[in-house]
Amino acid sequence: MTDETANNWDSAAYDDSHSFVYEYGSNVVALLDPAPGERVLDLGCGTGHLTARIEEMGADVVGLDQSAEMIETAREAHPEINFVRADARHVDLATFGERAPFDAVFSNAALHWIDEQDAVLDAVTDVLRPGGRFVAELGGSGNVGTIVNALSAEIDAREYDPPSEPWYFPTVGEHASTLEAHGFEVRYARLFDRPTELDDGANGLAAWLEMFGDRLFGSVPDDDRDSVVAAVEDRLRDDLYDDGTWTIDYRRLRFVAVLTE
């Protein structure tokens, strides 16, 4: 994932310490259930682990991500797969030449980085064939709420400007309505809690904030950031840290939607 204005992506750290992102994503590949020969676009493919899994199942898959570093790592790891560096808000059929239209668009843990969901859905409807499916998982309403609240309280206590709405974490109703407004029929949608254990022991929360949390820090100056992180750890330790492991309150929204003919 993806929008380079959103976060600075370190693809090695992403693979080493945050592998849960694509490990949990295997369930979303199972929901996609790609058939051999199907044309699939993996939107926000990151380092390409799930793109490769879709390819192993026999589909003809293209991975797309906006981060140059993620795409470079994906190409090195999977030279046989076609990876495209592009902004999901601005792709169309011409971006993919003869490889499109696609039978399915797949996305794991990427859509919540993109504020302009209408632009993404315009792009998805353009590259998908009529009757094709959009299968995805993103953060859902309330996702990582304890972290957002603790950081907001700390930023408030230090009288910095708060961040604006950091991510797109919709309810089922909000997202289903947006999909319907773009011509999709929603066949399946579910919001569920998925408490997620972080790697890196006592450093897990700090490493997570370093990897994913840029948008949460508002106007905190760089030289106060470590101190803010330490204070947030203190605020959250009783609730989220146990036996050497941080477990954070992920909530996922998973859906299958079919583009009406």
Contacts with ligand BEZ, residue ranges (CB under 6 A): 109, 139, 143-144, 167, 212, 250
What six digits make up the tokens of 218? 């508002």
Residue closer to ligand BEZ, measured from CB, 53 or 112? 112
> Least distance to ligand BEZ from the beta carbon of 90, Å?
22
> Least distance to ligand BEZ from the beta carbon of 10, Å?
14
> Least distance to ligand BEZ from the beta carbon of 136, Å?
12
Q: What's the maximum distance between 2 C-alpha atoms anywhere in the chain?
A: 56
Report the candidate in 219, 225, 232, 19 with the shortest Cα–Cα distance to residue 144.
232
Residue nearest to ligand BEZ (CB): 139
**DSSP single-letter state for residue 154:** H
Residue closer to ligand BEZ, measured from CB, 102 or 212? 212
Owner of token pair 């309810």? 171
The full 3-state SS of 1-42, as one line of letters, equals: CCCCCCCCCCHHHHHHHCCHHHHHHHHHHHHHCCCCCCEEEE
Residue closer to ligand BEZ, measured from CB, 14 or 250? 250
> Least distance to ligand BEZ from the beta carbon of 101, Å?
28
E strands of the chain, at which residues? 39-43, 60-65, 82-85, 102-108, 128-139, 184-197, 241-242, 245-259
Residue closer to ligand BEZ, measured from CB, 74 or 109? 109
Residue closer to ligand BEZ, measured from CB, 167 or 184? 167
**DSSP single-letter state for residue 256:** E
Residue closer to ligand BEZ, measured from CB, 109 or 231? 109
> Least distance to ligand BEZ from the beta carbon of 238, Å?
21
Query: 31, 135 in Cβ contact below 8 A?
Result: yes
What six digits make up the tokens of 235? 């605020």
> Least distance to ligand BEZ from the beta carbon of 80, Å?
28
